[in-house]
Structures are given as C-alpha cells and as structure tokens.
Amino acid sequence: MTTQHATGTSGGRIADVIVSVTLMLVGIVGFAVLAFASLFLVMAADSCTNGTCNTALLSVAWMIAMGGPPLVFGAAIVWTIIRLSRRKTSWWMPLAGAAAGILVWVIAVSIMQTSVGR
C-alpha cells in the first residue's frame, strides 16, 4: 500500500524521478569527459610504421570509441524520459545505459589495439 501525498504522488515516485535525473546528469558529464579523452586514442597510430597497422580498422574503431558511448547513453536518456513520462520505475535505465556505453568503449579500444598489432 502506498501513501499518497496531497499532490497525488508517492514518495517512491519522487525518489525515482530525483535519482533518475541525477544519474542522467552525472552520465552526461561522464560521457562528455570520456568522449574528450577518446580524442587522444588516435595516438595509438603513433606505433604504426611500414604498414604494420590496419589503419582503416583503427580509424573506424577510434570513431566508435569517440561517438558510440555518448550515443548509447543518449538512447538510454531518451528511454528513461519515456519511462518517467509513463510513470514507470526508471532509475535503472541510466545505469544500464552507462554500462552499455562503457562496454562499447572497451570493445572499440580493444579493436584499436588489435589493429596496431598489440
């Protein structure tokens, strides 16, 4: 049984909205910093000499490392907002989006390392 306040919303609902919005804001800042730091991953090509690297694969993986995680987290934000508007529990969506974004980054960096022969 939920206790209803005068406005018709429960304390759990308010907490879900506050936590969801906080996690989205923290994620936006975190993935912006990750995208900026990913700019420097291009330095992995410094070890490429005499055609020892697959530069096409390196370039694609670098672009995915820069843009993939923010796009994945952006999709999680959109889905979180949709769930919030439908009054469904949403606090876990930004966490799932962050985990998926980090996984995309790790896979892209691994492909970059493979393309330079590491």
| Burial class (CB within 10 angstroms; exposed 0-12, middle 13-18, buried 19+) of 48 | middle
Name the residue with tokens 């959109």: 78
Q: Is 74 exposed, middle or buried (0-12, 13-18, 19+ CB in 10 A)?
A: middle
- The amino acid occupying position 118 is R
The ranges assigned to domains in the chain are 11-115
Instruction: Note whether 82 and 8 are within 8 A (CB).
Output: no
Report residue 51 as tokens. Answer: 């055609």
- In this structure, how many other beta carbons lie within 10 angstroms of the beta carbon of residue 55? 12
Q: How many CB atoms lie within 10 A of CB 14?
A: 12
Distance, in Å, from the CA atom of 39 to the CA atom of 94, rounded to the nearest integer, reads 24
Q: Tens of pLDDT along the chain (118 residues)?
A: 554 444 456 888 899 999 999 999 999 999 999 999 999 988 888 878 777 788 899 999 999 999 999 999 999 999 999 999 999 999 999 999 999 999 999 999 999 999 887 7
Tokens 């209803």 -> residue: 4
pTM equals: 0.84
